[in-house]
């Protein structure tokens, strides 16, 4: 396993947003995360129940279906499909890749945070239940995500989806997987979505940016936890020169040919610098990217502090971008 020495002097971290700081101060300290404690870390809080069909349906506003489909290497995976009952097909769709550090999280857990977008824009949500590391290391998780996107395109008419208006959305670890599957699609000539939305994406296994060092011990997802997540996915290859961009998208040097991409991140979180660099690479490659760095936001602030002003602004910015992208254009082959 490769480890890094701090490569530059790190000054004091940026200030937290006051509303976010209040929330963060009341979150109990996270236990130390190691490969040996991943199973315990996967367990939800006592009394937590994953969202049932009845909960997700929001009193009949949505219909919920779960399908078993072929994943990577012949494995079976599932997708959860949430369809607005009041909008008429063909509908635009969000293909949702959940977060969880590469080793935890579920499709159902991720869906409630994006139901407001489905309601506001008449979107179908297709959430993929990819297999988790370390039991399924790279390339299994990204292959599952790519298989789920291909299945969504192939079954778009049956699902009441407009195949020309599919947006891939990945959050945290899911953001890294979403970027990876887009690079796979580009390089293998597969159908591309209309747009790509990356919310606080986990992009760089090298884990050696200024923000990664700066926010250790402060952010909800610090550098040491990030190292464990990447090691779960990549094993002893983490941080070595040969890691491909399909495993860690920050390794890509050419980001041309991507669909219009939205990226957001907090200024007070571990992933800040890798997200900013990824957006810069898209611009350098002649692509289109919209980047928001929310002042004082920690990792997951919009989920843990939903009433904070920057959380409300974050949701507004995401919806506005989606409206613009869905209003024009169509997805194509790379």
Contact between 57 and 111 (Cβ < 8 Å): no
Q: What is the C-alpha separation between 136 and 158, in angstroms, rounded?
A: 30
Q: Indicate the SS3 state at residue 110.
A: helix
Residues 6+ apart with CB under 8 A from 20: 266, 268, 296, 297, 298, 301, 305, 308, 310
Chain segment 282-322, per-residue pLDDT in tens: 999 999 999 999 999 999 999 999 999 999 999 999 999 99
Q: Indicate the SS3 state at residue 23.
A: helix
Mean pLDDT of 235-259: 97
Chain segment 167-226, per-residue pLDDT in tens: 999 999 999 999 999 999 999 999 999 999 999 999 999 999 999 999 999 999 999 999
Higher pLDDT: 162 or 86? It is 162
Contact between 232 and 202 (Cβ < 8 Å): no
Contact between 113 and 172 (Cβ < 8 Å): no
Predicted confidence band at 6 (pLDDT cuts at 50, 70, 90)? low
Q: What is the C-alpha separation between 78 and 61, in angstroms, rounded?
A: 22
pTM of the model: 0.95
Q: Indicate the SS3 state at residue 47.
A: coil
Q: Is the bond preceding residue 134 a cis peptide, omega within 30 degrees?
A: yes
Mean pLDDT of 65-74: 96
Chain segment 22-52, per-residue pLDDT in tens: 999 999 888 899 999 999 999 888 888 889 9
**For 181, phi and psi rounded to 5 degrees?**
-70, -30
Give percent of the chain with pLDDT exceeding 90. Answer: 90
pLDDT value, residue 334: 46
pLDDT value, residue 1: 41
**Where does residue 54 rank: exposed (0-12), middle (13-18), buried (19+ CB within 10 A)?**
exposed
């Amino acid at each position: 396993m490769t480890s890094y020495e701090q490569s530059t002097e790190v000054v004091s971290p940026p200030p937290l947003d006051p509303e976010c700081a209040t929330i963060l101060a009341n979150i109990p300290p996270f236990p130390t995360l190691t490969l040996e404690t991943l199973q315990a870390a996967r367990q939800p809080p006592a009394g937590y129940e994953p969202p049932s069909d009845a909960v997700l349906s929001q009193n009949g506003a949505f219909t919920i279906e779960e399908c078993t489909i072929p994943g990577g290497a012949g494995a079976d995976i599932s997708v959860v499909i949430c369809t607005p009952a009041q909008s008429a097909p063909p509908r635009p769709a969000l293909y949702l890749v959940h977060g969880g550090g590469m080793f935890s999280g579920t499709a159902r857990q991720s869906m409630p945070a994006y139901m407001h977008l489905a309601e506001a824009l008449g979107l179908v949500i297709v959430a993929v239940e990819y297999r988790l590391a370390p039991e399924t290391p790279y390339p299994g998780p990204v292959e599952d995500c790519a298989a789920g996107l291909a299945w969504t395109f192939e079954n778009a008419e049956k699902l009441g989806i407009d195949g020309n208006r599919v947006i891939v959305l990945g959050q945290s670890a899911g953001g890294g997987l979403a970027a990876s599957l887009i690079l796979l699609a580009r390089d293998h000539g597969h159908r591309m979505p209309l747009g790509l939305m990356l919310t606080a994406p986990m992009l760089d296994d090298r884990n050696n940016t200024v923000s990664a060092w700066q926010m250790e011990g402060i952010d909800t997802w610090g550098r040491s936890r990030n190292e464990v997540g990447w090691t779960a996915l990549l094993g002893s290859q983490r941080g070595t020169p040969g890691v491909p961009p399909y495993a860690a998208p920050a390794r890509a040097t050419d980001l041309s040919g991507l669909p219009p991409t939205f990226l957001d991140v907090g200024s007070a979180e571990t992933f800040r610098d890798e997200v900013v660099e990824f957006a810069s690479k898209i611009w350098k490659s002649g692509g289109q990217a919209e980047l928001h760095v929310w002042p004082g936001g920690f990792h997951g602030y919009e989920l843990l502090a939903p009433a904070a002003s920057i959380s409300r602004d974050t949701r507004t910015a995401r919806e506005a971008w989606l409206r613009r992208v869905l209003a024009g254009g169509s997805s194509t082959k790379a």
